[in-house]
Structure formats: C-alpha cells, structure tokens
A and B are shown apart, each in its own frame.
Chain A
C-alpha cells in the first residue's frame, strides 16, 4: 500500500531561520514520483517540485532545497533563511507509475514569525 507520512504537524520559526520539513513514503513500486506542494491561506495548492524514483540528485532552487534518499524512503524539503511569506501548509505527495492519483501526507503547517 502507498502511504505518505509527515510527522511534523506544525513548525514555528522566526524569520531568517532555516527549516526542514520531513516526508517519509511507502510504496511497493520501483517507479514512482514524489512532489511537494504549498498551500497558503488562500487555499490553492502551489506546485514546488517533482522527483522520480530514478533521480536521487538533490536540488537547490533559490532558498529551497530537497533531499531525496531512497535508502530511507525520505524526501525532505528545506527552506533557507525563511520569510514570513513562507507561512503555509506544505504537503508531500506520492504517485505511482502511470497514474495521476496523488497520495498526500497530512501536511506540515509552517508559521514564520517576524
């Protein structure tokens, strides 16, 4: 069965702190895809990143970076020098090969205080 676990329910930080959001997934497939989405108070899910199971190369994009480790089934997300505008709920999601069905984690609410 497929499952995504985000153990951190809520994280509060002060502006300019670095913060890492954890994501652990379960799947029996060898080909799968992992995503991070951000949901600000407006409600719309905003796509951040997509990774397939064959691409363990970690990436940095501006203040965002991702750490994908198949050995521990983890796909963690780090925001460097957090800003108040980063306050949102962040969702990790999994899809198995050849389906658009996203299986979401329960989300981590990030609050960044000035």
Chain B
C-alpha cells in the first residue's frame, strides 16, 4: 500500500506570493491533518479534515487555509507569504476512528526568500 504522498517536495517562493501544497492520503484513509515544522516553533498543528469538512484548526493566521476533496486528497494554501512561513509542511492521514495513529508523508519544504 502506498504511503502518504506530498507534492511538491521542495518549493522556493518570494515574499508576497502564494503557494498551494498537495497531500494524497493512504488509500482508504479519510482523515488528513497538516502540521508545520520550524526550528523555532517545532511541530505545530494547522488543520484537520474529515470527509471534506474541517474538524479542527490550529492557531495560525487566516493566510493559511486548506480543503479536502471527495477523494480525500487535501490541499493547503498560504497567501501573502512571509519569511517566517519557511518550514517543512507535513501531512498525515489515518484510518478508522479518531485518535488512531496518524501516518505522515515526507513533507514539503517551503523556502520563502
């Protein structure tokens, strides 16, 4: 079974631009969560989606948004990029009930210049 895939793996943008990151969960998984990892703040929760509905949102500004499609694939968008948005963005999916273990993708490393 293929794991969680994220595209692109690496991305370089400039301040003020916007970016869209994509995540394909493990086949059959309907829940997708997103996390941001930076050296200063560590791993922080962004969003949680289940069956196209956002169930939970972390403490991030409105520039960060996401969505989930009917095939469970998810995208997150960051508008008006800032230097501090440079990070590794990780996507995770799970099967079964809430609180089951989540399986992470390799991440998208975003660099904002």
Contacts and interface: CB of A to CB of B under 8 A. Distances in A.
Given A91-B43, A99-B48, A100-B48, A44 B99 contact: no
B73 to A, nearest CB: 17
Interface in B1-60: 31, 33, 35, 42-45, 48, 55-56, 58
Interface string A88-111: 000101010111111111110000
Contact of B45 (A43, A47, A103): A103
A86 B92 CA distance: 22
Interface residues of B, number: 26
B106 A102 contact: no
Nearest to B97: A98
Contact of A97 (B44, B45, B99, B102): B99
A102 B35 contact: yes
Contact of B107 (A33, A43, A93, A102): A43
A101 B33 contact: yes
A44 B89 CA distance: 10
A57 interface: no
Contacts of A45: 90, 92, 104
A52 interface: yes
A70 interface: no
B102 A47 contact: yes
Nearest to B4: A44
A89 B57 CA distance: 26
Size class of A's contact patch?
20 to 34
Interface in A35-81: 35, 37, 42-47, 50, 52
A99 B106 contact: no
A33 B101 CA distance: 9
B101 A98 contact: no
Nearest to A50: B101
Given A33-B99, A50-B101, A107 B42 contact: yes
A100 B99 contact: yes
Contacts of A43: 88, 106-107, 109
Interface of B: 31, 33, 35, 42-45, 48, 55-56, 58, 88, 90, 92, 94, 98-107, 109
